[in-house]
Amino acid sequence: MAGTPFKVRWTARRNAVFANPKFQHWAAKLPLIRRIARHRAGTMFDLVVGFSYSQILRAVVDSELLDVLKTGPIGASEVAERIGLSHDAALCLLRAARALDIAEEVIEDGWMLGQQGAVLHADEGTQAMIRHHRLLYRDLESPLDLLRADRGEPTELSRFWSYAGALHGAAETGRETNEYSRLMATSQQFVADQVLAAFRFPERGRLLDVGGGHGAFLGHVGRARPGLELGLFDLPEVVEKAREDLSRTLGPDRLSFHPGDFFRDPIPPGYDLVSLVRILHDHDDGPALDLLRNIRRALDPGKRLMIAEPMARVPGAEAMGEAFFGLYLWAMGSGRARSAKEIRAMLAEAGFSSAKSVPTPQPVIASIVVATA
C-alpha cells in the first residue's frame, strides 16, 4: 500500500471495518453508534425496496386515490368502490400509502390524505412525472441488458422523446403527444421557479431561449420580467406552435421566433442573454460542445449564457444527478448529467471567457451555470 493516496487507504480500511460482523455486533450495543447503524440500515433498506415505493406512488396516481381521499375521512369499502378494487386490495394500497405518508387513517376506517399526499395532490407536475416513469420502468426491467445494448437501439424513452412521436399528432401517437405537452408544461414550472428565484434576469434587454420547445419557460420569464424582449429558437414545427401560445399570453410585440436546428444553423445574434434549459444534458459530449460553440459565436463579448438543468455531484442532490438522470438519459439514448465543473470546462473550451455556478433553492430540480462571452 506504500504510495497509495491516503483517501484510498482510509476508504479501504473503513469498508473493511463496516463489513466486519464483530464490529456490527459491537456497534448495535452502543446507543450513539446504534442510532447511526439504524439510520444506515434504514437507508440500505430504502435502496433495496425503493422500486416498490415508486410503484405505490404510481398506483396512487393512476387510481386517482388522491382525489378520493381529499374529501375524507372515507372508509376503505367506499374507497374500493370508487377506485375499482376489491375491499382487501384497496386496504392494502391504503396501508402502503400510509407507510409513505400519502394516506392517513385519522379515525378507525376513516382515511384522508397524509402530509405527503396533500403535497402530491396539489402538485400536478409531480403526478405527471410519476405517470411518465412507466416508460423508464420498462426500460429498466433488465438494467444490465440496457447497459450492454447498443445505445442507439430504440427504447421506450427514446421513442417517447423523439420529435416524430412527440410533436406530430398522428392517431397512433395522440396519447404520447398529449402526455408530452402536459409533462413539459408542468415540469418547466419547477425549473422556472428555481431559475427565477436564483438568477437575476435583467429588467430590460433581449433574451433568447435556445431549444425552448413550446415556450413554457420563456412564458414564465416573460410574465416575471415584462420589460424583456424574448426570442425562441427551435425546430420549425415547434416554433409555430410556440408562436401561437406565447403571442396569446404575452402579446406579439415583444416576441421573436427563429426556426432552425441548433446543431446546423447559426444561433441568431444580437441577444444580451441566451438560456439553455434542460438541453445540454440531453446530448453527448461532442454535440453538446458543438452547441456551446454555436452559441458563443452568436454572443458579443460580455454577453451571457445561462445553463439550467439537473447536474451531477451537487451536494444534497447527488442521487438525482447520477443515479436517476444517469440511467434515465442512458435509456433515452443520448446525453448525461454533468457536474458544474465539467460544464465550466466545456464552456472554456467553447471560447467563453469565464463561468460561475449560481446556487438554486432546490438543486434536486435544477442547478445553474452562467458563462460570459
Using pLDDT thresholds of 50, 70 and 90, give the confidence band for residue 172. Answer: very low
Torsion sign over Cα 66, 71, 74, 78? negative
Radius of gyration of the chain (CA): 24
Residue that is last in its domain, among 61, 91, 123: 123
Nearest alpha carbon to residue 131 among 175, 68, 72, 162: 175
State how many domains the chain has. 2
On whether both 217 and 365 belong to a single domain, the answer is: yes
Long-range contacts for 60-68 (Cβ within 8 Å, ≥24 apart)? Answer: 60/93, 60/97, 60/102, 60/103, 60/117, 60/120, 61/120, 61/127, 61/130, 61/131, 62/131, 63/93, 65/93, 65/94, 65/97, 65/103, 66/102, 66/113, 66/117, 66/120, 66/121, 66/127, 67/121
pLDDT value of position 12 = 67
CA distance 373 to 353: 5
Based on the fold, state whether residues 288 and 358 are members of the same structural domain.
yes
Element (H, E) at 183: helix 174-198
Higher per-residue pLDDT: 127 or 182: 127
Q: What is the pLDDT of residues 25-38, one digit of tens each?
A: 555 565 655 566 66
- pLDDT of 25 reads 58
Is 138 domain-assigned?
A: no
178: burial class by Cβ within 10 Å (0-12, 13-18, 19+)? Answer: exposed
pLDDT band at residue 2, thresholds of 50, 70 and 90? low
- Supply 123's cell numbers: 402538485
| Statement to judge: residues 183 and 226 lie in one domain | yes
Q: Strand pairing of 103-107 and 110-113? A: antiparallel
Start-to-end CA distance of the chain, whole Å, equals: 47
Q: 344 has which bridge partners?
A: none
Name the grid cell of 361.
433553492
* Residue 305 located in a structural domain: yes
Antiparallel, parallel or unpaired: β 367-372 and 304-309: antiparallel
151 shares a domain with 64: no
Q: Is residue 116 part of a domain?
A: yes
Report which of residues 365 and 205 the model is more confident about.
205
pLDDT at 63 over 60: yes
What cell numbers appear for 188 in the block?
418547466
Residue 44 φ/ψ region, left for φ over 0, alpha for ψ in the -120 to 50 degree band, beta for the rest: alpha
Shared-domain flag, residues 115 and 151: no
Q: Does 19 map to a domain?
A: yes
Q: By C-alpha distance, which of 202, 205, 217 is closest to 272?
A: 205
* Shared domain check, 160 and 78: no
Looking at residue 166, its pLDDT comes to: 43
Query: What pLDDT is recorded for position 364?
Result: 87
| Residue 18, domain CATH | 1.10.10.10
Grid cell listed for 340:
458544474
Q: Is residue 86 part of a domain?
A: yes
pLDDT tens digit sequence for 300-342: 999 999 999 999 999 888 888 889 999 999 999 999 999 999 9
210 & 113 share domain: no
Across all residues in the chain, what is the average pLDDT? 87
Query: Structural domain of residue 11, as residue ranges?
Result: 6-123
* Cell of residue 334, nine digits: 443520448
Q: What pLDDT shows up at residue 17?
A: 61
pTM of the shown model: 0.83
C-alpha to C-alpha distances, 263 to 142, 272, 274, 279, 363, nearest whole angstrom: 33, 21, 15, 12, 28
What mean pLDDT comes out for the span 111-120?
Answer: 95
Bridge partners of residue 230, in order along the sequence: 207, 255
Confidence of residue 226 (pLDDT cuts 50, 70, 90): very high
Average pLDDT for 91-108: 96
Helix runs in 133-173, H state only: 134-139, 143-148, 156-161, 163-166
Q: Which of 72, 88, 123 is the last residue of a domain?
A: 123
C-alpha cell at 315: 451536494
At 53, phi and psi to the nearest 5? -60, -45
Q: Which among 123, 153, 174 is the end of a domain?
A: 123
Residue 346: which CATH number? 3.40.50.150
Asked whether residue 307 is assigned to any structural domain, the reply reads: yes
Q: Are residues 55 and 151 in the same domain?
A: no
Q: Are residues 210 and 296 in the same domain?
A: yes
Same domain, 90 and 236: no
336-358 exposure pattern, b = at least 16 Cβ within 10 A, e = fewer: bbbbbebbbebbeebebeebebb
For the cut 90, the answer to whether the pLDDT of residue 199 exceeds it is yes
Q: Is 131 within the bounds of a domain? A: no
Assess whether 202 and 342 both reside in one domain.
Answer: yes
Tell me: pLDDT of 165 over 70.
Answer: no
Residue 197 lies in a domain: yes
CB-based contacts of 224: which residues, under 8 Å, 6+ apart?
A: 196, 201
Does 296 lie in the same domain as 180?
A: yes
Residue 317: per-residue pLDDT: 85
Q: Which residue would you say has higher pLDDT here, 1 or 326? A: 326
